[in-house]
Amino acid sequence: MQGKASSAPLLEVTNLHRRYPVGKGRVLHAVSGVSFTVRRGEALALVGESGCGKSTLGRLLIALDRPDEGEVRFDGQVISGRSDRSLRAVRPRMQMVFQDSLSSFNPRRRVGDALLEPLKIHGRSYDSSTLERLLVQVGLPPDIVGRFPKTFSGGQRQRLNIARALVLQPELLVADEPVSALDVSLQAQIINVFHDLRAELGLSCVFISHDLSVVRQMADRVAVMYLGRIVELGETLSLMKHPAHPYTRALLESIPRLHHPLPDALQGDVPSPVDVPQGCPFHTRCPSVQSRCAHERPVLRPVEGGRDVACHYPV
């Protein structure tokens, strides 16, 4: 796919857990034992249904939140569980793009000033070409710098969000549903912005999405999540063509545009992350369930075809 990924991991995530106390001694397991790496220049997607822990994991990745267990390393150094103060030097190197965070642009501030603000805060030098270069990178005309946030359309706003994430020249972007608020033609434009940025700047990206058809266009590899766990991880095209986990198959079934001769569309509701089913967490909905699945938890392990799968009976 896009970008040339080298072998040294920029991001290494090991056995990450995030639990939320929800009263009466009960605990919600938002992220449970997640491990993966992201190489330099690589784009990894996190996909799964609403509530499976994508955003929680995204925040853990760039130390906006602390894990209860496990570790995140960025460029070799542990960033999880550290104080804000000790993270000050590394923070600019990793940035987040939200679905539509225009609300975090001050409505009374011209966007040019807002975009330069992170440079001022971090004492970085800039000149008149800095803004122009940034706007060109995200496909916005330079003459917009004097405008106020509310005068922009949805697509332009998302370009502004991306511009703001790029101003400190990060190496890693975590983008949480970066196109899901946009209609399909605007989605395609923003997806192209990300492609260009990766090719130009060698950025590593983690894209969070519930939409596999978007992920297909954006990511080199995909991690499929279910109830806080990664159930399948592999190269995007191979995973989409030959899903090995019954949950991945079911998710793919739910994309009408992709032809898939599988009868296993997703049935029923996701169980509560407070009462995660024993054994395989997917066994209550799995069309391939066997008796063993209800009491023996499958671990993520390599299967044929360079894929990692957490299932006793991968396809």
Ligand X SMILES: Nc1ncnc2c1ncn2[C@@H]1O[C@H](COP(=O)(O)OP(=O)(O)OP(=O)(O)O)[C@@H](O)[C@H]1O
Q: Determine contact, residues 167/159, Cβ cutoff 8 Å.
A: no
286 binds, among ligand SF4, Mg ion, ligand X, none (CB under 5 to 8 A by kind): ligand SF4
Given the complex with ligand X, which of 138 and 222 has the nearer CB atom?
222
CA atoms within 13 A on the CB side of 295: 2
Query: How many residues of this chain bind ligand X (CB under 6 A)?
Result: 13
User: In angstroms, what is the minimal distance from the CB of 111 to Mg ion?
Assistant: 26
Gap between the Cα atoms of 220 and 44, Å rounded: 6
Gap between the Cα atoms of 45 and 178, Å rounded: 12
Q: Determine contact, residues 229/246, Cβ cutoff 8 Å.
A: no
Give residues 260-299 in contact with ligand X (rule: CB under 6 A).
273
Given the complex with Mg ion, which of 177 and 308 has the nearer CB atom?
177
Stretch that binds Mg ion, among 52-60, 70-78, 160-168, 276-284 (CB under 5 A): 52-60
147 binds, among Mg ion, ligand X, ligand SF4, none (CB under 5 to 8 A by kind): none
Query: How many residues of this chain bind ligand SF4 (CB under 6 A)?
Result: 14
User: In angstroms, what is the minimal distance from the CB of 264 to ligand SF4?
Assistant: 10
The reply on whether position 45 binds ligand SF4 by CB under 6 A is: no
The reply on whether position 288 binds ligand SF4 by CB under 6 A is: yes
Given the complex with ligand X, which of 228 and 314 has the nearer CB atom?
228
CA atoms within 13 A on the CB side of 305: 19
Collapsed DSSP state (helix, strand, coil) of residue 87: helix
Q: Cβ neighbours of residue 85 under 8 Å, at least 6 residues apart?
A: none
The reply on whether position 32 binds ligand X by CB under 6 A is: no
**Among residues 280, 300, 307, 308, the one that binds ligand SF4 under rule CB under 6 A:** 280
Given the complex with ligand X, which of 20 and 122 has the nearer CB atom?
20
Opening angle at CA 251, ends 248 and 252, nearest 5: 85
Give residues 29-48 in contact with Mg ion (rule: CB under 5 A).
none
Q: Which residue has the tokens 């991690």?
A: 223
The reply on whether position 210 binds ligand X by CB under 6 A is: yes
The reply on whether position 33 binds ligand X by CB under 6 A is: no
Q: Determine contact, residues 194/217, Cβ cutoff 8 Å.
A: no
Amino acid at 166: L
The reply on whether position 298 binds ligand SF4 by CB under 6 A is: yes
**Among residues 10, 11, 28, 251, the one that binds ligand X under rule CB under 6 A:** 28
Given the complex with ligand SF4, which of 78 and 299 has the nearer CB atom?
299
148 binds, among ligand SF4, Mg ion, ligand X, none (CB under 5 to 8 A by kind): none
List beta partners, residue 224: 47, 232
User: In angstroms, what is the minimal distance from the CB of 296 to ligand SF4?
Assistant: 8
Gap between the Cα atoms of 93 and 81, Å rounded: 17
Please state at what angle helix 128-137 crosses helix 154-166, rounded to 10 degrees.
130
The reply on whether position 55 binds Mg ion by CB under 5 A is: yes
The reply on whether position 209 binds Mg ion by CB under 5 A is: no
Strand order in the sheet with 69-74: 27-39, 9-21, 69-74, 77-78
The reply on whether position 246 binds ligand SF4 by CB under 6 A is: yes
- The torsion angle over the Cα atoms of residues 184, 179, 309 and 41, rounded to 10 degrees, is 110
